[in-house]
């Protein structure tokens, strides 16, 4: 049981270090950028598929 407590303590310390130092803000910014990029790629892919008029899915 003590091993689990030590493990969760170490995980909590790592999460605190990453959360309090601004790494989380940078990761959120990168995630927003990836979301926009993949959304644009999806729309372009969808428009290309619809413009071809193929009946395959």
* Residue 40 included in any domain: yes
8 lies in which domain range? 2-52
Torsion angles phi and psi, residue 23, rounded to 5: -65, -35
pLDDT at position 23 is: 79
Q: Could you tell me the pLDDT band of residue 43, with boundaries at 50, 70 and 90?
A: very high
Determine contact, residues 51/57, Cβ cutoff 8 Å.
no
Rounded Cα distance between 28 and 22, Å, is 10
The tally of domains found in the chain comes to 1
Determine contact, residues 3/9, Cβ cutoff 8 Å.
no
| Residues 11-41 pLDDT 10s | 988 888 877 878 778 888 889 999 999 999 9
* Residue 57 included in any domain: no
Torsion angles phi and psi, residue 40, rounded to 5: -65, -45
* Residue 25 included in any domain: yes
Q: What is the pTM of this model?
A: 0.56
């Amino acid at each position: 049981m003590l091993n689990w407590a030590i493990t969760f303590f170490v995980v909590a310390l790592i999460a605190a270090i990453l959360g309090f130092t601004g790494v989380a803000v940078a990761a959120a910014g990168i995630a927003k950028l990836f979301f926009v990029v993949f959304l644009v790629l999806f729309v372009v892919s969808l428009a290309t598929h619809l413009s071809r008029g193929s009946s395959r899915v």
